[in-house]
Amino acid sequence: MGSIKLLSEATIRKIAAGEVIARPASVVKELIENSIDAQSTKITIEIQKGGKDLIRVIDNGIGMDRADIRLAVSRHATSKINTIDDLTQLKTMGFRGEALASIAAVSRLKIETNTDTALTGNYLKVEGGIIKEMAEIARAKGTTISVESLFYNLPVRRGFLKSDNYELRLIIETVKSYVLAYPSIHFVLRSEGKELLVCPKANSVKERLGLFMERARLASLIEIKVDNPLLALYGFFTEPSQAQAVYEIQETFFNLRPVRSRTVLRAIYEGYGATLRGNNPNFVVFITTSPENLDVNIHPTKQEVKFADERFLFDFVAEAVRKGLGIKKSETILKDNFLYQSALGGLIADEQITPNFWQLHNSFIFAQIQSGYCIIDQHAAHERIIYEEVTKKRTMDVQGLLFPIMIELKPEEFTVFEEITGELRKMGIEAKVFSGRTIVVESIPTGTYLGKEEISELFAELAKMEKKDRGKQDEVAKLIACKGAVKAGQRLTPLEMESLLNRLFACAEPYFCPHGRPVIIKITLEDLFKRFGRT
């Protein structure tokens, strides 16, 4: 007898569900899209335990009748298409008839819905893809879908989910995307009964952006609008000189669907060219095209799209950004032809440094040594200093702020603050809650350049880290060092340069920054003689 056997229908359902539903954020995405398709003007999302225990989405849309509610949890049952040709003309968010069926296969699902408040509504309970109960109920027009115990029947898959905070952060990012794309819809997000996002109906995308960006960064956005017979682009982009090391928002939408597109991302950076100088822009870009030009089915969760002509898409977006921001195409990245090799180790420590410092482009410190000269990356050097001071000292020296810094944190950032506030205090950052999600920073580690912008970036980066990494002093210290170090482009006085080098060579490992990049390059007189053809 052969070894190949047909899988059971239950197994097939679970495998198919796993392709569409990867984690709680996938469920939230699918349910929000269903609510949008149902013409809802208010959508409320309730979460418990990062979505593992409960995801509930409540809308005031058109609802479903008794026949629809039963079919809604069947595979490939959809109101969006009839034939294969309809796929090329789709203008709705969902279409494959898999979302609710997939969710129902891996959870305990409850649906409450009504098409008219004056009529009787319907209730459906499904466990593991099997309908357990169906009844009539009284409820307002709209639909409430509750997803409980996600992956309860797939313990291995449930075990692969990450911490509650990590899963919640992904849900927040998912909801944020739809909040930006649909300003006419009132969104509410609650976790453990606490409101994390309350986004009333807005008049524009930019008004919605104001919920997630600092006022100064919002003001630095430039609106760009370009039309073409094949494509239309509309969006907001950071003015080049205002780009920062850490971006707050980078969102791409095709026909109002939030997606990942490597082509669009690369094109935007190509448009900015050398003006970014290693920084990253904020942007929200909406691209509209005929549905027949898009393949949204290349990814099971519809998170990626493929345009019919990716080369044209790249050129179109890059040129739109370049012209919209007034960037000359000739502003290309300068190539560095400096061919000298780094000579690190104890070679410099054994030589006397002559205090005749000077600064190149307000970023690099030149110092003469006996055998030639050395170049010090001021930012990397200060990173090393701060990192060792933060990790080596039992009690960090702190400087109280004459004017404490007040910052309103995003929901996921505030969660992180509550989680590691004690650890931050040990490292010299003392802060307390002022009200709501607003905190007041009262002191910072001595000798650091931590202002409002840097502390905001610090919490943004901490929120992106895995919880296990935030629990490591080493990883948090690297981040504090990076944000608190003197920046490239910052002018230093001769005394400041001398102090920086003295502190650097007092470090246990002065030759590399905490991330492993070189701090010092040594150029010998012998190297120079060879370059100038002298022997």
Give me 49's structure tokens. Answer: 């335990």
Instruction: Give which of 412, 460, 410 is closest to 169, Cα–Cα.
Output: 412
Provide the mean pLDDT of the chain.
84
Q: Is residue 95 scored above 50 in pLDDT?
A: no
- How far, in Å, CA of 461 to CA of 52, rounded? 24
- Position of tokens 């307390």? 432
Q: Are strands 294-295 and 250-254 parallel, antiparallel or unpaired?
A: unpaired
Does the domain spanning 205-324 belong to CATH 3.40.250.10? no
CATH 3.30.565.10 fits 9-199, yes or no: yes
Is the distance from CB of 409 to CB of 438 less than 8 angstroms? yes
Distance CA 424, CA 171 (A): 26
Alpha-helix residue ranges (DSSP H) falling in 93-204: 99-105, 155-159, 164-181
Quick one: DSSP state of residue 343?
-
Residue 286 pairs with which residues in a beta bridge?
234, 253
- Alpha helices (runs of H) in 253-377, residue ranges in sequence order: 262-272, 310-324
Give the distance, in angstroms, between the CA of residue 535 and the centroid of all CA atoms in the same chain. 55
Mean pLDDT over 13-35 rounds to: 79
pLDDT score for 343: 30
Domain ranges of the chain: 9-199, 205-324, 345-523
CA gyration radius, the chain:
28
Return the higher-pLDDT residue of 76 and 61. Answer: 61
The pTM of this model reads: 0.63
Closest to 66 in 3D by CA, of 117, 121, 11, 119 = 121
Question: Mind listing the pLDDT tens digit for each residue in 249-284?
Answer: 999 999 999 998 889 998 999 999 888 877 889 999
Residue in 33, 45, 15 with CA at minimum distance from that of residue 411? 45
Average pLDDT (104-120) is: 94
Structure-token match 């893809």, residue found = 129
DSSP secondary structure, 478-498, as one string: HHHHHHHSPPTT----HHHHH
Can you tell me the distance from the alpha carbon of 168 to that of 492, in angstroms, rounded to the nearest whole number? Answer: 43
Burial (Cβ within 10 Å: 0-12, 13-18, ≥19) of residue 391: middle
In eight-state DSSP terms, residue 242 is: G
Fold classification of 345-523 is: Ribosomal Protein S8; Chain: A, domain 1 (3.30.1370)
pLDDT of 349 over the 90 cut = no
- Interatomic CA distance for residues 315 and 292, integer angstroms: 20
What are the pLDDT digits (tens) for 360-393? 998 999 988 777 888 999 999 999 999 988 887 6
Answer whether 440's CB lies under 8 Å from 431's CB.
Answer: yes
